[in-house]
Every structure is written in C-alpha cells, then in structure tokens.
Amino acid sequence: MANKEQLSALVDNELTDAALLDLLANEPEHAEQWSNYHLIGDVLRGETPKQIDIDIASGVAAALEQEPAIVAPKPQAAEQKESSVRVVRFFKYAGQYAIAASVAVAAIIGVQQYSYQANDADQPLPVFSTVPVGGAVAPVSLQSNPQPRELSEAEIMEQRKRISAYLQDHRFQQRIVE
C-alpha cells in the first residue's frame, strides 16, 4: 500500500516509481486520492477550473443506503402520551377544585370572624325578627289533644271513588307497559 508521502511526491513529479503507478491504475481508492491531491495542488496554485464537476448526489445516495433504518414503536408512544394527558387533565381539575374549596373555606372563616367580635362575647347573639313589616304579632296557642275531623258519608264515598279511579288508571297503565 502506498503511503501519502510517496503519493504526494509522485504528484509533485519528485518520484517515478513503476510499482506505485501500477497501484494507482489498479486501485480505485488510490486513484481517488491521486485526483484529490491534484485538485489540492491546482487550488493552491490558483489553477482551478471555472466549474468543478463534483458528484455529490451519488455520495449522498450511497451514504443513505448505508444508514440503518430506525423504526420507533409509535403505539407505545401514543399510549404514553394519552396517559400523560389524562394525568395532566386530572391535576388540572383537581387544582381547580382545590382552589374553589380553599376560597369557600376562607369565606366561611371570614364571615365567622367578622360576625364574632371579642368585646361582644358576653352579649347574646341577635335573634331574627319574625314580625311582618306592616303587621302586628298574632297570639298563637297549642292544643294538646287535637280533634280529628270526622267525614260525612258523602265525603267518604267521594274519597273511595277517587281511590278506585286511581287504582283503575294504574292497572290500565301497567297493561300498556307490559
């Protein structure tokens, strides 16, 4: 195998080795290196052509063919994303409920503290007034033995007819449903 110094010396016409020339003719890798050295020399001397033919497409295509195919399991990622969305949604609602509960507790405690004053602790709490705005209080009494109202015969018959009608209607509706 030819080393880089020998190849560089051959490019600069400082070396004439028949074995090295045969190696360049038979090995495409060394021929490509030979071409690159000549291109470097031309650039250093300012002798570059106006248009350089560089075949990038074939190099990129070859590199893409050598790349391993990476296949990611998408269903697992979707399930994981869905479960994380559920967790986020749960904490969002839990946070909203926690805020609402804390506001309610603060309101209750605030009202209790506002209505209770330390210097009024020995005074009784006020009672709501049940007297109507434009009227007076009417005396009320409680009877210990209320007398049941006795129904007349006509009222009893009327009650029985209504109950009978309700029962007939109920039976009729039961037959319709079945």
Q: Looking at the predicted structure, is the pLDDT value of residue 153 above 50?
A: yes
pLDDT band at 126 (very low <50, low <70, confident <90, very high): low
Structural domain count, the chain: 1
- Domain extent for 33: 1-49
Rounded Cα gap, residues 126 and 120, in angstroms:
11
Q: Are 53 and 46 in contact (CB under 8 A)?
A: no
Determine, yes or no, domain membership for 113. Answer: no
Check which CATH number belongs to the domain holding 23 and give it.
1.10.10.880
Q: Are 8 and 20 in contact (CB under 8 A)?
A: no
The pLDDT score that the predictor gives to residue 138 is 65
Determine, yes or no, domain membership for 174. Answer: no
Mean pLDDT over 89-106 rounds to 85
Mean pLDDT over 15-33 rounds to 76
Mean pLDDT over 34-45 rounds to 81
Written as one string, the DSSP assignment of 24-45 is HHH-HHHHHHHHHHHHHHHHHH
Determine, yes or no, domain membership for 38. Answer: yes
Determine, yes or no, domain membership for 136. Answer: no
Mean pLDDT over 60-80 rounds to 72
Q: Looking at the predicted structure, is the pLDDT value of residue 1 above 50?
A: no
